Amino acid sequence: MSRFNVNSAEIEDYVEEMAKNPRKDAFYPQTVSRKLNIPLDIVLLELSRLRDDGKIDLKYEIRCLEDLNTIITVDDYNSLLEKELFCEMCGKEINITYNHVYPIFYINNEYKEHVKKNCKIKIDKK
Considering only residues 64, 80, 96, 107, which one is a binding residue for Zn ion as defined by CB under 5 A?
Answer: 64
The SS3 call for residue 62 is strand
Integer Cα distance of 111 and 20 in angstroms: 10
Long-range contacts of 47-50 (CB under 8 A, 24+ apart): 47/11, 47/15, 47/105, 49/8, 50/11, 50/12, 50/15
**Would you count residue 67 as binding Zn ion (CB under 5 A)?**
yes
Please identify the residue of the shown chain whose CB is closest to the bound Zn ion: 64
Q: Is 88 in the site for Zn ion (CB under 5 A)?
A: no
**C-beta closer to Zn ion: residue 40 or 68:** 68
The Cα–Cα gap between 101 and 99 comes to 6
Q: Which of 18, 19, 87, 115 binds Zn ion (CB under 5 A)?
A: 87
Tell me: does residue 66 bind Zn ion (CB under 5 A): yes
Residue 64 vs 115, nearer CB to Zn ion: 64
Task: Give residues in contact with Zn ion (CB under 5 A).
Answer: 64, 66-67, 69, 87, 89-90
